Chains A and B, each alone.
Chain A
Amino acid sequence: MSSVPRPRPERGAERTALAVRSVTKRYPGVVALDAVTVELRDGEVLGVVGENGAGKSTLLDVLSGVVAPDEGHVELAGERVSFASHRAANERGVFRVFQEQALIGNLRVDEALLLAHEDRLRRGPLLARRRMQRRAQALLDELGVPVDARARVETLDLGHRQAVEIARALLLAELLGIERPVVLFDEATAALDRAQVDAFLGWVRALRGRASVVLVSHFLPEVLETADRVVVLKDGALVTQAPAAELDEPKLHALMVGRERAADHHREDLQRPPGERPLLRVRELSLPGLLHGVSLDVRAGEVVGVGGLLGSGKSELVRAVAGAVPGASGTVQLGDDPPARPRLRPLQAAGLGFVPAERGAEGLVLDASLLANVQLPSLHDRFAPHGWWRRGAALAATRRWIERLAISAPGPATAAGTLSGGGQQKVVLAKQLERAPRVLLLDSPTRGVDTGARESIYTVLRELTGQGCAVLLATDDLAELIGLSHRVVVMVRGRVAAVVEAPAGAKPSEQELVTLMSGTPDAAEERSAA
């Protein structure tokens, strides 16, 4: 792939298409962007990399105008702008392609391409269907996207939908008379498989010169291959920007991570060898289209981390083990209980705790008090066993957890929704810990959680495993995955691609895991040979 010649940016490419200048954006408890200045030059492909929480998405939010910066401003072709809506941004030639795709499944491709702008192709009261179709088809053909403009969007796979999004940007720009649109891609390849990624990057390269592109991606090789320049963000600050030709993966990586080894952070000193006895046995767990025959064991006192790219099935795996998704086949066994198809309620009764990823939607009742949240899973047996509410006991338990987890809240009557992300996550944890689980499943437990709260969560997990609890943890955060786990299960496209031992003092490198996550070694070789 490195043999593909990288065309030099053309003359005039020094002009700035879109820029953020000294932009700062704060969210409660976190500075998402800290005085960041980034320029996108006309016609170039700009890669943006950084760890989770580095500020990549916020940068795109500001660039596309959905979020107003607290300080600083956005410039489009040298002119200060603030867009009132996505449509306003579109009309100025700024398009964003979302990670969760923003196309409507029941529409035809040509309808989706022109949605809200179909008036530009018609004269009378009726839609100019044939013109819409021809125009859309011509552009798709020109881009080399093998899609029928009459097809329903929902019949396309994710890769082709991304291509349709690219085409939408170009088509609308054309109709609006914009010479070079700005297209912002937010982790656009995260859910694609290898062939789709290659095709997609081809389309992005074809955009060079026709559009100015920002490519946000987790996957460093693809950024290095595709981008002209790369911007590295870390903890909301701009670390570096340099031509892609001057960078390589290790360099980028060092810039992204840029911190001392996180051993202390993850309390590696408390990592003890696990027991012999598997407490959780998962066998041949499948979920149509998402998981394919996954088997794994977690022993008493062990943390097994599940890693993988978005769409690898790591989150689905944990949810399926917990019995939180319908349609799973295979068995889950706790301790010496008989193996059975995973079903949430029986598993919970048998001592399994589950911390879901979406704490606002699944983990907590945000409007309800801490007391109400903490007692909820234990009402039937502990706090209201025969229908009578034992309020005193529930209150005491809630107070205990507030103290033990250092939840910063005035008291048990505080509404859960008023807490910070970290505080909320601690409450979700408290709910489960009150059940004294034998096996604890966690899905992205520290997403959007500040450093202080992370550390107390890590400490609690170490204490739990010290008492013999088995922990299965899915996370996007590589440092956490490596630091906390005894073993790391790497998922690729719904299958276990590798299991990596991670004993204290001999942890695998992030690099090693990323390589495993991005596909089988064979596929990676194929790719570099292409």
Chain B
Amino acid sequence: MSAETIERATPPAAATRLGDGRGRELAQSLLAPLALVLLVVYFAVRSDTFLSWGNLTALSGQAGPLLFVALGATFVVLMGSIDLSVGAVALFSGSVAAWLLSEGTAGGLAVPLAILAGAGVGTVTGLVVAYGGVPSFVATLGAMSILSGLALKILRGSPLPFTSPGTSDLAIGQVVPHVQNAGLWALIAWGLFVVVGLRTRFGLYVYAIGGGEPVARLSGVRVRAVKVAAFALSGATAACAGVLLVAQLGSGGPTVGSTLLLDSLAAIVVAGTSLAGGRGGVHRTLLGVLLISVLANGLNQVGADDYTQQIIKGAVIVGAVLLATARRRGEVTK
């Protein structure tokens, strides 16, 4: 009986296994690499210095902090939330590090403490979002203001220089020739985060929450705990970025991290992670970070001023979302 039933149960229309439907995603994900190649070619033609070793090394140093920020933030975006406080967390943690170092604390202590501070701040934000039920938009907007204020208090409103050769080396040294350590650490962290995103339970839950939070909760996923963890991670990676920036400069300052929020969001979105959550991933974010970094660096090389850069980055982020929305609308099913 049961064998017969099973045979009968196979609907004729679907005699073959249903395909895995990732072809469309592949096609979509080719857009960002194409844009990157075009940008590189364009800047290489327009500027003699763009492809020089010196500039590429500088580029690796610029991309490092941005990549760090984008790593944690990607998880938050994947959940369908947003972390607007990443720039402020970087400023705050960088300021904490600068203050500790200027007070003579050893780099080996100051750096972990500053990162811990960022993770702690992210945890608090996560608790407010997950248990307080405050929309992440509002909670992180508030955190942004609070942390900027705190950081400026620590700095007393002006740059805070320090001397710590070890710390500087952490950021601008070159373990691998022509790659600033800041970029190297970020790349290693990226590798780790890719594994976390694609191969661990935490990563799976992040996708599940982004795809359908009520369903995930019904299935037994501890949604709130996952949210807190994701915000804590975002805080920690933003703090890493802040510490690296301060270490690169040899000084804390009120403008540290001021471009990180916009840049990281642009990187995440350009790389194809959906602001609605559930689609994309950390594995893609690297490409977005490269794109935004090349764009910023290249514009500098061809002599575009900061204001022009602001205009272009703003347009890029809105354009990327527009493009993603248009593609979604074009899908036949859904």
List chain A positions with a Cβ less than 8 A from chain B: 5, 7, 85-87, 90, 102-108, 111, 115-119, 122, 125-127, 129, 142-148, 150-152, 154-157, 159-160, 195-196, 198-199, 202-203, 205-206, 289
Cβ–Cβ contact A105 & B212, under 8 A: yes
5 A-B residue contacts at CB 8 Å?
Answer: A107-B207, A127-B204, A143-B6, A195-B12, A199-B11
**Interface-facing stretch out of B47-55, B146-154, B215-223:** B215-223
Evaluate contact between A86 and B220: CB separation under 8 angstroms. yes
Q: Is B9 an interface residue (CB 8 A)?
A: yes
Residue of chain A at shortest CB distance from B9: A202
Closest to B25 in A: A152
Q: Is the CB–CB distance between A106 and B210 below 8 Å? A: yes
| B219 and A116 contacting across the interface, CB-CB below 8 Å | yes
**CB of B20 closer than 8 Å to a CB of A:** yes
Which residues from A are CB-within-8-Å of B119?
Answer: none
Query: CA–CA, A202 to B278, complex, Å?
Result: 33
Residues of B whose CB lies within 8 Å of any CB of A are 1-2, 5-22, 195, 199-201, 204, 207-208, 210-212, 215-216, 218-221, 278-279, 333-334
| Structural contact, B11 and A118, CB atoms closer than 8 A | no
Known: A5-B1, A87-B218, A151-B19; 4 extra A-B contacts, CB below 8 A, are: A85-B218, A144-B10, A146-B11, A147-B18
**Chain A contacts for B207, CB-based, 8 A:** 104, 106-107, 111
A106 contact set on B, CB distance < 8 A: 207, 210-211, 278-279
B contact residues around A125 at 8 Å (CB): 200
Which 4 A-B residue pairings sit nearest by Cβ, starting from the closest?
A: A202-B9, A87-B220, A144-B6, A116-B220
Contact B1 A7, beta carbon cutoff 8 Å: yes
For B1, B15, B216, B333, which residue has the most chain A Cβ atoms within 10 angstroms?
Answer: B1
Contact across chains for A87 and B5 when beta carbons are under 8 A apart:
no
Q: How far is the CA of A122 from the CA of B11 in the complex (A)?
A: 34
CB neighbours (8 Å) of B195 from chain A are: 126
- Of the candidates A119, A148, A198, which one forms a contact with B11 in the assembled complex, judged by CB atoms under 8 Å apart? A198
B9 and A199 within 8 A (CB): yes
Contact partners of B201 in chain A: CB under 8 A? 118-119, 122, 127
User: Can you name the residue of chain A whose Cβ is closest to the Cβ of B218?
Assistant: A86
Q: Once the chains are docked, how many angstroms separate the CA of A170 from the CA of B279?
A: 28
Closest to A126 in B: B199
Nearest-neighbour CB distance to chain B for A115, whole angstroms, equals: 5
A148 and B19 within 8 A (CB) = yes
Could you tell me if B216 and A115 are in contact, using CB atoms closer than 8 angstroms? Answer: yes
CB distance from A152 to the nearest CB of B (A): 5
How distant is the Cα of A346 from the Cα of B212 in the complex, in angstroms? Answer: 36
Q: Report the separation of the CA atoms of residues A107 and B22 in the bound assembly, to the nearest whole angstrom.
A: 12
Residues of chain A with a CB closer than 8 A to B220's CB: 85-87, 90, 115-117
Q: Within the complex, which residue of B1, B9, B17 is in contact with A203, where a contact is CB–CB below 8 Å?
A: B9
Closest chain-B Cβ to A203's Cβ sits at a distance in Å of: 5
Take A115-B216, A118-B204 as given contacts and tell me if A202 and B211 are in contact as well, using a CB distance cutoff of 8 Å: no
- Taking CB as reference atom, which chain B residue is nearest A142? B6
Chain A residues near B221 (CB, 8 Å)? 115-116
Q: A107-B207, A146-B16, A156-B18 are in contact. Are A86 and B11 (CB under 8 A)?
A: no
Q: Could you tell me the distance between the alpha carbons of A154 and B208 in the complex, rounded to whole angstroms?
A: 13
Inter-chain CA distance A146–B334, complex, in Å, is: 21
Chain A residue at smallest Cβ distance from B274: A106
Bound complex: CA of A126 vs CA of B12, how far in Å? 38
Q: Identify which of A103, A105, A116, A199 gathers the most chain B CB atoms within 10 Å of its CB.
A: A116
Asked if A87 and B11 make an inter-chain contact with CB atoms under 8 angstroms apart, the answer reads no
Q: Which residue of B lies closest to A153 (CB)?
A: B211
A144 touches B18 (CB 8 A): no
Contact A115 B9 (CB under 8 A): no
Q: Which B residues lie within 8 Å of A129 (CB)?
A: 199
Q: A102-B218, A104-B212, A118-B204 are in contact. Are A206 and B20 (CB under 8 A)?
A: no
The residue in A7, A87, A146 that gathers the most chain B C-beta atoms within 10 A of its C-beta is: A146
B2→A155 contact, CB < 8 A: no
Q: Chain B: which residue is nearest A203 at the CB level?
A: B9
Q: Are B215 and A103 in contact (CB under 8 A)?
A: yes
In the complex, how many angstroms separate the beta carbon of B81 from the nearest chain A beta carbon? Answer: 16
Contact B199 A127 (CB under 8 A): yes
Contact A86-B9, Cβ < 8 Å, known A111-B204, A155-B21 = no
Partner of B208, one of A104, A150, A206: A104
* Chain A residues, CB < 8 A from B5: 144, 202, 205-206
Residue pair B219, A206 in contact (C-beta under 8 Å): no
Cα distance A333–B13 when bound, in Å? 40
User: Which residues of the partner chain B approach A115 to less than 8 Å between Cβ atoms?
Assistant: 204, 208, 216, 219-221
Residue contact B334 to A151, C-beta cutoff 8 Å = no
Q: Are B199 and A206 in contact (CB under 8 A)?
A: no
Whether B216 contacts A104 by the Cβ 8 Å rule is yes
A104's partner among B16, B22, B211 (CB-CB below 8 A) is: B211
Q: Are B15 and A150 in contact, with the CB atoms below 8 A?
A: no
**Is the beta-carbon distance between A150 and B20 smaller than 8 angstroms?**
yes
Most chain B CB within 10 A, of A104, A147, A157, A199, is at A104
Given A7-B1, A104-B208, A199-B11, A148-B17 contact (CB < 8 Å): yes
Complex Cα gap A90–B217 (Å): 13
Give CA–CA (A111, B13) in the complex, Å. Answer: 25
Inter-chain contacts of A85 with B (CB < 8 A): 218, 220
Query: Using Cβ atoms and an 8 Å threshold, which residues of chain A touch B219?
Result: 86-87, 102, 115-116
Bound form: Cα–Cα A202–B9 in Å: 5
The residues of A that contact B218 with a CB separation of less than 8 Å are: 85-87, 102
- Among residues of A, the one whose C-beta sits closest to the C-beta of B14 is A146
User: Is B20 within 8 A of A155, CB to CB?
Assistant: yes
A144 and B199 within 8 A (CB)? no
Contacts of A148 in B (CB 8 A): 17-20
A55 CB, nearest partner CB in chain B, Å = 22
Question: A361 vs B20: C-alpha distance in the bound complex, in angstroms?
Answer: 36
Taking a contact as CB atoms under 8 Å apart, the answer to whether B1 and A160 are in contact is: no
Cα(A144)–Cα(B212), bound, Å: 27
Measured between beta carbons, the chain B residues less than 8 angstroms from A111 are 204, 207-208
Task: Give bound CA distance, A447 to B295, whole Å.
Answer: 57
- Chain B: CB-nearest residue to A129: B199
- Give the one of A106, A195, A205 with max B CB within 10 A: A106
Check B334–A202 contact: CB distance below 8 A.
Answer: no
